[in-house]
Amino acid sequence: MHRVAVLLATSMLIASAQAASPGPPKFDINAACRDAAATHDAATRPDAIKLCLESENKARKEVEEKWLRYDPALRAACVSSSSIGGVKPVYSELISCIEMKH
């Protein structure tokens, strides 16, 4: 239990630092898209990865364009929540969080 609390606190500190920085966080969308495509069969996996990367690059550009317009507390909350659960964070989920809380 203590270990989980330490990991959560560390994650929140990192998220707060990223959200307070002048630019948006840097997510590893290559790894996230590979993980997401892992459920596809070998024949469709490359296309799934390609579509995911295209979508996430588009979302990343949107986040970069709008990042400074968002309240820092909102940014911190959404970056923090995107890093919970063992799933690699992606920009599309970050946008969804911001839009829902905005």
Residue 12: per-residue pLDDT = 52
pLDDT < 50 regions, the chain: 2, 4-10, 15-19
pLDDT of residue 10: 47
Q: pTM of the full predicted structure?
A: 0.75
Residue 19: the pLDDT is 42
User: What are the residues whose beta carbons fall under 8 Å from the beta carbon of 79, sequence distance 6 or more?
Assistant: 15, 16, 18, 19, 25, 89, 94
| pLDDT the model gives residue 73 | 95
Closest CA to 82 of 39, 18, 6, 2: 18
Q: What is the pLDDT of residue 21?
A: 57
